[in-house]
Structure 1
Amino acid sequence: MTKTFLVTGGAGFIGSAVVRELIANTSHRVINVDKLTYAGNLASVASVAYDARYTFERADICDDDAMARIFEQYQPDVVMHLAAESHVDRSIDGPREFIQTNVVGTLTLLEVARAYWERTKQSEEDKARGFRFHHISTDEVYGDLDDDGSLFTEQTPYAPSSPYSASKAGSDHLVRAWLRTYGLPCIITNCSNNYGPYHFPEKLIPLMILKALQGSPLPVYGDGGQVRDWLYVEDHARALVQVATEGVVGDTYNIGGHNEKTNLEVVHMLCDLLMEMAPSTHHYRDLITYVNDRPGHDRRYAIDASYIQRTLGWEPRETFESGLRKTVSWYLANERWWKAVQDGSYRAERLGVLT
């Protein structure tokens, strides 16, 4: 059955991957709602924007009237809520904006969705079978792990460390409360670190690629020993669409890539790939420099994705090696895209430094 998906943040990194997945590989209709802040880029969905099933609405999820109009006009069957402020360093410098977008924006969306759902669904059977509110979150809400092989599960207690992760934890709690109190059909997913094409260059992997190509120092926080589980964004998009269409209302699904790497290992791998794919007279590893660590930096994240694999049959297709090669290749082939996002609003400056 063809459904109408309302994707918030659909011009962002993960959101645009979801939009491309839905248009390219399903028959569903997509309403892309994005405010187009510094990290939103319609060029990231240009490959599918011509499709008659795709519509873009520039709007702020904190705007009750705009959200109510969009729900009434497009009558969505599924909401995939990805719109969020997401960069930890930015949250250290300006936490208020993160609370506004991630908490107040989620509250606004939940209330508009609840009013729409209660008005348009005629029976309890219709409600259970039809509308879904899928909230996309992060593994950072769980805090950090010891180096003992333990993993984040869907039952791990929340212990956020940064203003960003605290704001996402707050939005997760709101979604669960609207499920339990009002019966709104909600599903939550928590993912590990994403990487891949169309990634805004303030994040580790694209930042290191572009700085290396420019011959600039590659800043590694602290000793570079922080461990992350890396998930290729197109694998994540497939998982999100599958959860939205096949997941059980009320469930939480952790989505991970089974790729634990230290930040320094990632930078070394990037440098070696660049030497192969964009040879330089100097070795890119020589550009690595160590800088003061981020305040409150979590040491290790790692996702146990066995539940989604067992119940929905999803698993990542990309290894970290194959996904990283695809990512480097994309940035080398798409200089026009990444130069356009470095248009004066972002110059790869260091953020989140406490004085």
Structure 2
Amino acid sequence: MVTGGAGFIGSSFSREVKKPVIFDLLTYAGRLENLIGVDHIFVKGDIRNYSQLEDTVKKYDIKIIVNFSAETHVDRSINNAHIFLDTNVYGVVNLLEICRRYDTRLVQISTDEVYGEQENATEDFPLRPSSPYSASKASADMFILAYVRTYGVDAIIIRPSNNYGPRQHIEKLIPKTIVRTLLGLEIPIYGKGDQERDWIYVEDTAKVIAQLVETGKKGEIYNVPGGQRTTNIKLVEMIGELMGREPKIKFVKDRPGHDKKYSMVSTKLSYKVTPLKEGLSKTIKWYLENEWWWRPLLNDEYFLRETSW
């Protein structure tokens, strides 16, 4: 079962497995359009609702749950932390209780942001989250490790770096830059744009997760960095260059607690990644060819606003 399987990374992963049961609430970030072409069983449900989870696991005799369900946008977490606590923590505890009761394996999709601003963080680094979003993901990770230790739950944690690619909501930096450049709109950049992120193409992440679903060892944490770090301003300029357009950059007040750098390494995995320019070219091409997909999202508050503060 893929919880959050109608979202960005979840729908990409769902293309890597055979007829998954997709359990998704279809919030603003989850869309049935993301599942076109995917052979699946769909259940509209909320991981915060234990009985819905239990009914689905029993009905389809689920043996593995891969959890992508999460509130993920940092800006939204700063404006309202409560829903991040409800979904990213309480929801994961529900999943853990289900896995404990029905002997089901949990694969939790976490994030490099739980490490905060640390250089070359390995899987055993301390967690130093900076935002309500990353704090909620770190808390979920801690609950998972506790359930492995206390109850013997079969669970693993996967921490990818920043993902990009087709079907990512236009509130996020890369699709926001592409779409706003297409529309001739300014692109708001926090501070000086010198924040550094590590990027990985979403299909690469999906393949690594699909492998770890079967091979990951109980109680282990796996970092999945892209190994392609660049600053936000350089990234936006690169997108403009690939599009053959000059992006209209507008520097805005930085957001509170903004991490300047995410730097993570993997000590347990070896895998191939798509070069950043190649992945960006594929992503741009997808947004150019799928205007029908992003047009309905143009009125989203976090696409329209210049800054949250």
TM-score interval for Structure 1 and Structure 2 normalised by the shorter chain:
over 0.9
Q: Is 1:284 equivalent to 2:246 in the alignment? A: yes
User: Residue in 2 aligned with 1:116?
Assistant: 102
Match of 1:30 among 20, 23, 26: 20
Q: Equivalent of 2:109, from 136, 142, 158?
A: 136
In 2, Cα distance between equivalents of 1:243 and 1:89: 30
Q: Cα offset for 1:156?
A: 1.1
Q: CA deviation at 1:315?
A: 2.9
**Which of 1 and 2 has greater Rg?**
1
1:122 corresponding residue in structure 2? none
Inter-partner Cα distance in structure 2 for 1:15 and 1:70: 18
1:350, CA displacement in angstroms? 3.0
Give the TM-score normalised by structure 2. Answer: 0.97
Instruction: Give the Å deviation of 1:21.
Output: 1.6
Q: What is the match of residue 297 of structure 2?
A: 341
**Pairs within 5 Å for 1:1-355:** 6-22=1-17, 28-48=18-38, 51=39, 54-117=40-103, 131-145=104-118, 150-275=119-244, 283-285=245-247, 287-309=248-270, 314-316=271-273, 318-342=274-298, 344-346=299-301, 348-350=303-305, 353-354=308-309
> What is the CA–CA distance in structure 2 between the aligned matches of 1:351 and 1:181, rounded to whole Å?
46
Please tell me the residue identity of whatever aligns with 1:202: E
Deviations for 1:275-301, whole angstroms, at most 9, x for unmatched residues?
A: 1xxxxxxx423x111111111000101
Cα distance per residue 1:294-315 (max 9 Å; x no partner)? 1100010122124211xxxx33
Task: Report the CA distance between 1:246 and its aligned residue.
Answer: 1.1
Q: 1:232: Cα distance to partner?
A: 0.4
Structure 2 unmatched ranges of 5 or more? none
**Conserved in 1, the CA contact under 8 Å of 2:188 and 2:307?**
no
Q: Work out whether residues 123 and 267 of structure 2, in 8 Å CA contact, stay in contact via their aligned partners in 1.
A: no
Deviation at residue 346 of structure 1 after TM alignment: 4.3
1:29, distance to aligned residue in structure 2 (A): 3.4
Equivalence for 1:127: none
> What is the CA-CA distance between 1:216 and the residue it aligns to?
0.6
2:5 is paired with a residue of what secondary structure?
A: coil
SS in 2 for 1:99: helix
* Cα pair 1:19 1:30 within 8 Å, conserved: yes
Q: Give the counterpart letter for 2:13 in structure 1.
A: V
Structure 1's 96 and 42: CA in aligned 2 closer, same or farther, altered over 3 A? same
Asked whether the equivalents of residues 99 and 105 of structure 2 are also in contact (C-alpha less than 8 Å), the reply is: no
2:148–2:154: 8 Å Cα contact kept in structure 1? yes
Deviation at 1:106, TM superposition (A): 0.5
Tell me if structure 2 keeps the 8 A contact 1:221–1:293: yes
Which letter does structure 1 place at the counterpart of 2:142? Answer: H
Deviation of 1:347 after TM superposition, in Å, equals: 6.1
CA offset digits 1:32-66 (Å, max 9, x no partner): 00000011111111111xx3xx1000000000110
Q: Does the Cα contact within 8 Å between 1:93 and 1:352 map onto a contact in 2?
A: no
Q: Secondary structure at the match of 1:307?
A: coil
Q: What do the CA deviations read for 1:320-342 (whole angstroms, capped 9, x no partner)?
A: 11101100111001100111333
SS state of the match for residue 91, structure 2?
helix
Distance 1:261 1:345, change over 3 A: closer
Task: Assess if the C-alpha contact under 8 Å between 2:108 and 2:158 holds in 1.
Answer: yes
Matches of 1:225 and 1:351, distance apart in 2: 18
Following superposition, the deviation at residue 261 of structure 1 comes to 0.5
SS in 2 for 1:348: helix
Question: 3-state SS of the aligned residue for 1:231?
Answer: strand
TM-score w.r.t. length of structure 1: 0.85
Structure 1 residues 351 and 55 mapped into 2: Cα distance closer, same or farther (>3 Å)? farther
Contact 1:295 1:352 in 2 (8 A): no
Shift of 1:351: 7.8
The letter of the residue matching 1:71 is V
The whole-number CA distance in structure 2 between the counterparts of 1:306 and 1:217 is 40
Identity %: 43
Q: How far apart are 1:269 and its partner, in Å?
A: 0.3
5+ residue gaps in structure 1?
Answer: 1-5, 23-27, 118-130, 276-282
